[in-house]
Amino acid sequence: MRVLGGWTRALAAATISASALLSVPGAPAQAAAEGTPITVAAQPAGWRGAANGYSVDYWTTRSNGEAVPASGALMLPEGPAPAGGWPIMAYDHGTSGLGPGCGGQSASSVFSRPQEDAILQYFVDKGFAVVAPDLLGLGRFETGPHPYLELRSEATATIDLVKAARAARPDLSRSWAVTGFSQGGHAALGTANLQSALAPDLDFRGTIAVDPSSDVEKLVPLGGPYFPEIPGTSGAMINGFVVMMFAGLRETHPELDLDSYLTPLGTSILDEAGSKCFADIAKLTQGVALGELFSRPLGDPRFRAAIDTYMTVPTSGYDAPILLLLNAADTVVPSPLHAALAAQFAANGVDFATVVGMGQHTELNPEMWTAIESFVARVLSTPTQP
C-alpha cells in the first residue's frame, strides 16, 4: 500500500531517535522539499564497514513529483576535511528487491553486501565522503513497492541524498561523482543524465557504471503468453527481474492498466512480491513459465511507450565523463546489451571510456581497477568549480 501525505511526514518524524543525532535544518513535519534531511544519526564503528558512518533519512520525490521519505548512508573519512570539503562519491547498489529493509543498508543484493561494503570503503580510503541511497521503498519507509529500474526515481533518490548530506554536513564539497553496479549502474547513468537539471549548483565530475542494466526495455515487449519456462536458477532469476519491473511499472503508470496484460496468476504474484526482497521474489516464480504470467502480448504501442518512459537509459545529454566497465561473459545483463549501450554512446558523441573483461556479472579485473584509479585521480585533482 502506498503511504501518502501527512502520514509519511509523521512516520518520518517518528524515526528521529535521541542517540547521536546531528543538527539538521528544518522540521520533518514542515520541510518536505527534496534533498531536505530528516535525521542524520551516527552509527557504531564498523557499520557498513566504515569507522565513521551515519544513517540518513531525507525527503525525495517519486517520478510524479510527490514528496516521500527515503533512507540511506553516509560514510566519512577520518580526520579533518580538506580545504573545500570532502568530495562526494554517490554509490548506487545492485538489485535487492521491492520492499522495506531490502536496500543497501540491511539486505544482500545480487552484487553481494561484503563486496559492496569493500567498494564503499575503497572510496572512503581515497578521501571521498560516500553517500549510498537505499533507493525508494527499499529502506526504512513503507512507501509502496520499489519502482525497480525506474530511471527517474533512482536518480532523484541519489541526487537528493547528496543534497541532504551536504545540508547536514558543511564539510562536504560541491564536487561529486557517482558509481553503480548492475541496477546501480542503471541508476548512476540516470543520475548523471539528470543531475544538471536537478542539482545545477553542484559540481558533477563523472560516472562509473559497472555492467549497468540497459536496453532491457527493448526485450520486454517481446514477451507474452507464448514464453516457455526457463529451467533452473537462471529461470527463477529472470522471472524475478520481470516481476520486479512489472510491479514498479504498475505502481508508477496506472494509466497503462498493467493488470489487463496479466493472468490471475501474474496479478497474484505481483501483489505478493511488492513487499519482498529478491530471493523471496524469485521463489514465487520458481517452476513458473514466464508466459503463464501474461494474458496477451506486450508489444502494443501503449505498453512500449510506458516502459520506455519508465526505464530507458539516455544515450546523449551527459556533461561529464563516463567510465563503462563491462563483462563480455555477463549473463545477468546479457553482454550484447552492454555492447549496444556502448555503440549508442559512441554514435551520439558521449564522452566515455570502456574497459571490457571476461568475468561474470559486476566482476572487476585488474584493468578495471586501474581505470577506476585513473578516474578517481582525475576527479580528485581537478579544483572545485566556483
Sequential DSSP letters for 233-288: HHHHHHHHHHHHHHHHHHHH-GGG-GGGGB-HHHHHHHHHHTT-BHHHHHHHTTT-
- Give me the pLDDT at residue 379, please: 82
Whether residue 245 is found in the same domain as residue 338:
no
142 and 72 share one domain:
yes
Tell me whether residue 133 is in a domain: yes
Of 257, 284, 311, the residue that ends a domain is 311
**Grid cell for residue 272:** 505478493
Q: Mark which of 273, 293, 311 sits at the end of a domain.
A: 311
pLDDT at 20: 38
Q: Report the 10 Å Cβ neighbour count for 309.
A: 16
**Three cell numbers written together for 131:** 553517500
Asked whether residue 39 is assigned to any structural domain, the reply reads yes
- Domain check: are 36 and 144 in the same one? yes
Q: How far apart are CA 364 and CA 118, in angstroms?
A: 12
Same domain, 199 and 233: no
Grid coordinates of 231: 529451467
Q: Are strands 53-61 and 67-75 parallel, antiparallel or unpaired?
A: antiparallel
Do 209 and 342 lie in one domain? The reply is yes
Report the CATH number at residue 298.
1.10.260
Instruction: Please indicate, yes or no, if residue 316 is contained in any of the structural domains.
Output: no
Contact 352, 214 (CB under 8 A): no
Neighbours of 268 (CB within 10 A): 13
If asked whether residues 236 and 269 sit together in one domain, one would say: yes
Per-residue pLDDT tens digits of the chain, which is 386 residues long: 333 333 333 333 333 333 334 434 333 444 468 999 999 999 999 888 888 999 999 999 999 999 999 999 999 999 999 999 999 999 999 999 999 988 754 444 444 555 788 899 999 999 999 999 999 999 999 999 999 999 999 999 999 999 999 999 999 999 999 999 999 999 999 999 999 999 999 999 999 999 999 999 999 888 899 887 777 667 778 899 999 999 999 999 999 999 999 999 999 999 999 999 998 998 898 888 999 999 999 999 999 999 999 999 999 999 999 999 999 999 899 999 999 999 999 999 999 999 999 999 999 999 999 999 999 998 888 776 66
Q: Which of 260, 280, 311 is the last residue of a domain?
A: 311
Between CA 144 and CA 274 the distance in angstroms is 7
Q: Do 339 and 247 belong together in one domain?
A: no
**Do 235 and 302 share a structural domain?**
yes
What range defines the domain where residue 136 resides?
5-215+321-381
Residue 291 placed within a domain = yes
Tally of domains in the chain: 2
Tell which residue, 193, 234, 131, 177, has the closest CA to residue 350.
Answer: 193
CATH number of the domain that residue 369 is part of = 3.40.50.1820
- The pLDDT score that the predictor gives to residue 232 is 65
Q: Let me know if residue 363 belongs to a domain.
A: yes
E-strand stretches of the chain:
37-42, 53-61, 67-75, 86-92, 129-133, 172-181, 203-210, 322-327, 352-357
Nearest Cα residue to 288 out of 299, 272, 311 = 272
From the list 178, 185, 181, 182, the residue with the least C-alpha distance to 161 is: 178
Considering the domain architecture, whether residues 150 and 199 belong to the same structural domain is answered as yes
- Cβ proximity of 243 and 269 under 8 Å: yes
Per the domain annotation, does 262 fall within a domain?
yes
- Can you give the length of the chain in residues? 386
Task: Say if 114 falls within a structural domain.
Answer: yes
One domain, residues 131 and 267: no
Q: 178: which strand partners?
A: 90, 207
Q: Which amino acid is at 87?
A: P
Residue 212 pLDDT: 97
Asked if residue 386 is part of any domain, the answer here is: no
Residues 6+ apart with CB under 8 A from 299: 221, 222, 224
Does 273 lie in the same domain as 230? yes
Residue 352 is predicted with a pLDDT of 97
Q: What is the distance between the alpha carbons of residues 8 and 68, in angstroms, rounded to a whole number?
A: 7
Q: Are residues 78 and 208 in the same domain?
A: yes
